[in-house]
């Protein structure tokens, strides 16, 4: 359900933003056709795509659409279900010994939880365990951050391409001054379309999607850190009460109550 | 009282800021009606809301009003009362043993103080105690910082939406050059209203409220760190004199005297 | 003397800056009266004050004047006198034992030196000693940095208030185009005054004073760190030769010689 | 193959970017000749080169072309081949003892791998081993970052040189107002060419190439850190299973499978 | 020789930059006299100097010229000569004992090397040795960074002073609209000169010299860290082979060969 609500936030946000801009323009008496500029669109898009291609690689140019789609579903953060699961593992490991987890491990869906518990079952030293998991997390986080950075980079290039487009348009206009003033006005208006597109794309698409991806990275890191804390507790054979104190901090107030409810049942 | 004074600073600041701008405009001979622009307002607000929605989620759009209300009451920082309380706990624990705190713990209002003392009473190791409390603090701080960041993000999108609104207005004007110059002037004036709103909202509302929330996070962190230092001292059974030296650093000069006054009574 | 020279740098800098700007304007043929704009001043000041009030609290608005006065005297940094004093304490402690410092401690003017030596005399563990002093320093430094940040914030709001003032002025002008061109020109000129004031105040007052306060924080931190290093050396009973090597790094080249001169006497 | 695809991304990106800008301009009705401005080019290039020369040294001016060429081939990141090799060394060292690696060491192509294994064979302490390799990595990374910084610096100077060129052009135009309006327009258009070149060069060449070099530094660091982790594991004589867990985190999902495929053969 | 080449890079860079700008302007048909504006120069310089004086102190105003001169000679970085010297000390200390270095120490030119070896000869503990040297380095580095920061600050104030000058010029022009259009044009052109000077000085002098000073700080830090690594190795009595491995990382590829050549002789 939370997943559902979030699913549509990218589309809804674009709708509100673009819709509001157009509504304001129309109320002001403008015809939306006046805002259409094919040359401006070509300049902004190919300029931004070109700069991104030089910045990284051809593949990078092909990633943004997929990343926008990826940003649609909500990144799962630390959930009461995960906390619950970690608590149960901690109890089982304390009661029946760490090796009792062996059968469950390979069926786990989360990569880090599976790897962590496998290392625990294999008897890896506590220090090395944490080091391996932290290193994995850092590398995965870095990759996700690079993806978010791609959008920030696009958000930086897009407005300057808009300025380039507008200046080119003005150069065009200035070369033919002295003609009909109405036509002149329309030509200048056309030149400004590039600025509109450049700033608009940056502020309604590139930067906001970049922000969302960075938020998702934070959720991702939080979830994985909860797992690291949990796995280490399991290895140390800490008391379920202490594990619960450690884990609870990762949850929202109402999620803590959910956890409590499950526990006392 | 201090709470009261702060209560009104958001409203008072807005009053001074907006009032001053309008006063300057009126003295200059302008009619305030000239500054009203419904299309501009639609553009700025829906543009900013749209960008924020893409940036995070639909819920985020609904948070700012609640956060502005939250920013009205002052966030309590490290207070002499809290310091006093920690000192008394330290003395009691040293005199009657740590378990003597058991009855008091669950009645405490502050979450972190309660959790910290509960862990101390349960005999948690010093290192784990600090780790759990620091982790809780870091997560809570992060959430509050994300809220403050929401306003900074809005403060970044708002002026660019203003520029978009103005450029759209100019596109409109430029499409009908050659008409009556007075009407032309008024149309350009209207286009500038969007810039006014975009910059004005960012600099009188979004960014300042974001600043205030960040200040509150600092106060919050300071208060919680005082608690962590205090709880650790209680656990270590340090002498009240040393605890006082440690705690005093968190207080203002005149608050230290208050603490001294209470102590010598 | 050094204190004297610094005393007047704020005033002198303002004199040079404002004087130079006016001189350039006058040489160019302008009458200074043309630069006076009461509405612009109202807009800039009340806009900036309003934004600052929302940003923090009403008290914050009242601090800048006091802080400007505070920035007049020079913040004492690590001085050869202080180094000398620390060296003497180190020698005395080594010769006559740490308790021999007990009588001197309470007469010391510097808060951190007094607290540090008191903790040493009380037999505090080395690790806790450093932790307490570092924590005190961090908190004091943070407060001073927040003060400097206030000016940076003002320096950020001031130019945008100038832009708001200018745009409002232009809205006014554009509403009455088609009149006498000379009057029109003067009205636009008046609108630009707000930009002048906004940028001028930010770049000659807010930001430079903020810079100076930050420099003073650095001096403050350096002085206190010298004290922390010295106090720890005293506690460890290190040889005066080693203490001198440690302390010297904090002094300027010519100050080292001063220290040497005193020592060999 | 991957190498090949990347080889052309700098050229391809420039083609897309510049091509798109020119296409947009032509569709809009402009003649490409109107965008040629020798004086503007002289101003931008010599201004940027001059600023860079003052910034560092004459040699720095000669590096960018070489660095652009260097940025063409893809920087190798952590590869399954390298992981494979480290695993084999780990197995051999565990089976036949660390000294069994002695013969292979000097034939290794990678500087850090060779140095690391040589230190291991020489019996260097684990702590010193890591310290030496980390220090080498930090210094090499710093040098590569400085190179990338050169392009960022150029990307910062280039647009301001464009503004300088345009302002100079406007000064020229304004000195001869009142003439033929068509000629005036063309002169202003020429002035804007400098802005076009300044922003264009910055956003299609300097900044994107700087970005790519920074990406390459990240790949470089990742590859070297994989080596450090591997070499340390070899020295510790860790079990191949554990080494594999440590190393796998550096690889992409499909590269892990490649590694698994090789291992099970 | 390297020193020589670098000696002139500040002057050469200024020549290329300023020369190129003027060349572009002249080719475009401008007379260089049109770019001379005494009032603009007064505004930029006194505005920047005033802001710097408020920012720090009167002395700060007098430093930049000396610092520019200082930036002329190249800062020596880690050199093969220094590496060679450290290696020889390491060998001597290992062969004849650490005290054998006593006679050489006081003749050393480099402050940090002399202090470090003196502390080693005096039998200072390894941990304290590193702490003292690192603290000295941090303080010296901070001072050099503050100097570089002075130029960055000037580079930030300079363009805004240019804008102030231009706005003041426009205020002047706008006060006398309606006159001869040619004279009007020339007056506006004069107003723009201030922008030219402000941006030009910032981008050809202040910021590039600031960059160079920061580069020199990096070289300085690298050289001193090489010394710290070397001195610590000498104290530990590490084998020359290991010392060489540690030290080599600080050198360029061809410098390593130079070192090898000397060693094998």
Give chain C positions within 8 Å (CB) of E140. Answer: 249
E115 to chain D, minimum CA–CA distance in Å? 23
Task: Kindly state whether D160 is in contact with chain E, defined as any CB-CB distance less than 8 angstroms.
Answer: yes
CB A82 within 8 A of CB A63: no
Give chain D positions within 8 Å (CB) of E160. Answer: none
Mean pLDDT of chain A: 88
Choose the most confident range, by mean pLDDT, from A24-33, A74-83, E78-87.
Answer: E78-87
Task: Kindly state whether C52 is in contact with chain B, defined as any CB-CB distance less than 8 angstroms.
Answer: yes
Neighbours of E (≥3 Cβ pairs closer than 8 A)?
C, D
CB proximity under 8 Å: E 11-50 to D: 12-21, 23-25, 27-30, 34-35
Q: What b/e sequence results for D19-34 when a residue is b if at least 16 CB atoms lie within 10 Å of its CB, and e otherwise?
A: ebbbebbeebebeeeb
CB C165 within 8 A of CB C194: yes
Give chain D positions within 8 Å (CB) of A59. Answer: 5
Q: How many CB atoms lie within 10 A of CB A40?
A: 28
Task: Kindly state whether C211 is in contact with chain E, defined as any CB-CB distance less than 8 angstroms.
Answer: yes
User: For residue C53, is pLDDT > 50?
Assistant: yes
- Pick the residue of C37, C54, C115 with the most B CBs within 10 A to test the interface with B by mutation: C54
User: For residue B122, is pLDDT > 60?
Assistant: yes
Backbone angles phi, psi at D90, to 5 degrees: -60, -40
CB contact under 8 A, E199 and D164: yes
Give the count of Cβ contacts less than 8 A between chain C and E.
Answer: 173
CB proximity under 8 Å: D 62-101 to A: 74
Q: Which of the residue ranges C3-7, C75-79, D209-213, D249-253 would you say has the lowest mean pLDDT?
A: C3-7
CB C46 within 8 A of CB B21: yes
What are the Cα distances from residue C147, in Å, to B251, C7, C138, C217, D263? Answer: 17, 19, 14, 10, 61
**Apex A140 CA angle, A134 and A144, nearest 5:** 140
Residues sharing a CB contact under 8 Å with residue A216, sequence separation 6 or more, in sequence order: A71, A74, A75, A144
B191 to chain A, minimum CA–CA distance in Å? 9
Given phi > 0 = left and psi -120 to 50 = alpha, else beta, which region is B51? Answer: alpha
User: For residue C1, is pLDDT > 50?
Assistant: no
Q: What's the rounded Cα separation, in Å, for the pair A153 and A136?
A: 26
Q: How many CB atoms lie within 10 A of CB D141?
A: 15
CB contact under 8 A, A119 and D245: yes
**B114 is written with which tokens?**
């309660």
CB B240 within 8 A of CB B263: no
Task: For chain D, list residues with pLDDT below 70.
Answer: 1-7, 71-74, 178, 262-265
User: For residue B72, is pLDDT > 70?
Assistant: no
User: For residue B218, is pLDDT > 80?
Assistant: yes
Give chain C positions within 8 Å (CB) of E135. Answer: 229, 246, 249
> DSSP of chain C, one letter per residue?
-HHHHHHTHHHHHHHHHHHHHHHHHHHTT--GGGG--HHHHHHHHHHHHHHHHHHS-HHHHHHHHHHHHHTSSPPP-S-HHHHHHHHHHHHHHHHH-GGGGHHHHTT-S-HHHHHHHHHHHTT--HHHHHHHHHHHHHHHHHHHHHHHHHHHHHHHHHHHHHHHHHHHHHHHHHTTTTS-HHHHHHHHHHHHHHHHHHHHHIIIIIHHHHHHHHHHHHHHHHHHHHHHHHHHHHHHT--HHHHHHHHHTTS-HHHHHHHHHHHH-
Residue A61's pLDDT is 77
CB contact under 8 A, C190 and B21: no
- Name the closest residue on chain E to residue C78, using Cα atoms: E139
- Pick the residue of A123, A171, A177, A198 with the most D CBs within 10 A to test the interface with D by mutation: A171
In this structure, what is the dihedral angle of CA atoms B151, B156, B161, B166, given to the nearest 10 degrees? 130
E/A Cβ contact: 3+ pairs below 8 Å: no
A58 to chain D, minimum CA–CA distance in Å? 6
Q: What is the distance between the terminal CA atoms of chain E, rounded to a whole angstrom?
A: 25
pLDDT confidence bin for C264, thresholds 50/70/90: low
> Tens digit of pLDDT for each residue in C115-171?
999 999 999 999 999 999 999 999 999 999 998 999 999 999 999 999 999 999 999
Mapping DSSP to helix (H, G, I), strand (E, B) and coil, where does residue E28 land? coil
Q: How many CB atoms lie within 10 A of CB D99?
A: 11
pLDDT confidence bin for B198, thresholds 50/70/90: very high
Mapping DSSP to helix (H, G, I), strand (E, B) and coil, where does residue E222 land? helix
The predicted model gives E222-227 an average pLDDT of 96
Mapping DSSP to helix (H, G, I), strand (E, B) and coil, where does residue B193 land? helix
Task: Kindly state whether E162 is in contact with chain C, defined as any CB-CB distance less than 8 angstroms.
Answer: no
> Tens digit of pLDDT for each residue in E206-217?
999 999 999 999
Nearest residue to C48 via CA among C165, C189, C148: C165
Nearest residue to B194 via CA among B19, B35, B8, B29: B35
Q: What's the rounded Cα separation, in Å, for the pair D28 and A168?
A: 10
CB contact under 8 A, E59 and C250: no
Between D12, D203, D245, which is nearest A160 by CB? D203
Nearest residue to C163 via CA among C40, C54, C53: C40
Nearest residue to C13 via CA among C67, C64, C66, C71: C71
> Tens digit of pLDDT for each residue in D102-131?
988 988 999 999 999 999 999 999 999 999
| Unique residue bearing structure tokens 């930001």 | C207
pLDDT confidence bin for C3, thresholds 50/70/90: very low
| Unique residue bearing structure tokens 């080169």 | D49
Q: What's the rounded Cα separation, in Å, for the pair B205 and B10?
A: 9
Q: What's the rounded Cα separation, in Å, for the pair E211 and A17?
A: 41
What are the Cα distances from residue E186, in Å, to B265, C27, D177, D192, E179? Answer: 80, 16, 8, 19, 12
Q: What's the rounded Cα separation, in Å, for the pair A196 and C1?
A: 59
Residue E263's pLDDT is 61
Residue C18's pLDDT is 93
The angle that helices D126-174 and D38-55 make with each other, rounded to 10 degrees, is 140
The predicted model gives A24-35 an average pLDDT of 87
* Interface ipTM: 0.88
Q: What's the rounded Cα separation, in Å, for the pair B159 and B51?
A: 12
> Tens digit of pLDDT for each residue in B135-151?
999 999 999 999 899 99
> Tens digit of pLDDT for each residue in E104-144?
898 899 999 999 999 999 999 999 999 999 999 999 999 99
Write down the pTM of the prediction: 0.91
User: For residue C77, is pLDDT > 90?
Assistant: no
Residue A72's pLDDT is 66
Q: What's the rounded Cα separation, in Å, for the pair B76 and B185?
A: 52
Task: Kindly state whether A200 is in contact with chain B, defined as any CB-CB distance less than 8 angstroms.
Answer: yes
User: For residue B263, is pLDDT > 70?
Assistant: no
- Name the closest residue on chain E to residue C18, using Cα atoms: E47
CB contact under 8 A, E28 and D169: yes
């Amino acid at each position: 359900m939370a997943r559902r609500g979030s699913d549509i936030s990218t589309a809804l946000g674009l709708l509100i933003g673009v819709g509001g801009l157009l509504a304001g323009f129309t109320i002001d008496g403008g015809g939306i056709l006046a805002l259409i500029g094919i040359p401006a669109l070509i300049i902004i898009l190919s300029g931004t795509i070109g700069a991104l291609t030089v910045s990284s690689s051809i593949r990078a140019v092909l990633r943004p659409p997929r990343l926008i789609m990826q940003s649609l579903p909500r990144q799962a953060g630390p959930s009461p279900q995960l906390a619950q699961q970690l608590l149960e593992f901690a109890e089982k490991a304390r009661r029946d010994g760490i090796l009792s987890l062996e059968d469950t491990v390979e069926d786990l869906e989360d990569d880090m939880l599976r790897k962590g518990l496998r290392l625990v079952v294999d008897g890896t030293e506590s220090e090395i365990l944490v080091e391996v998991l932290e290193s994995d997390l850092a590398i995965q986080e870095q990759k996700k951050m690079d993806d978010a950075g791609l959008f920030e980079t696009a958000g930086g290039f897009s407005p300057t391409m808009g300025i380039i487009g507008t200046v080119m348009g003005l150069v065009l206009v200035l070369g033919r001054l002295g003609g009909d003033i109405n036509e002149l006005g329309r030509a200048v208006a056309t030149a400004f379309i590039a600025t509109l597109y450049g700033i608009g794309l940056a502020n309604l698409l590139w930067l906001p999607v970049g922000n969302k991806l960075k938020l998702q990275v934070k959720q991702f890191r939080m979830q994985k850190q909860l797992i690291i804390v949990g796995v280490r507790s399991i290895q140390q054979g800490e008391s379920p009460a202490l594990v619960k104190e450690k884990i609870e901090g990762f949850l929202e107030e109402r999620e803590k109550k959910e956890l409590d409810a499950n526990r006392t049942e």
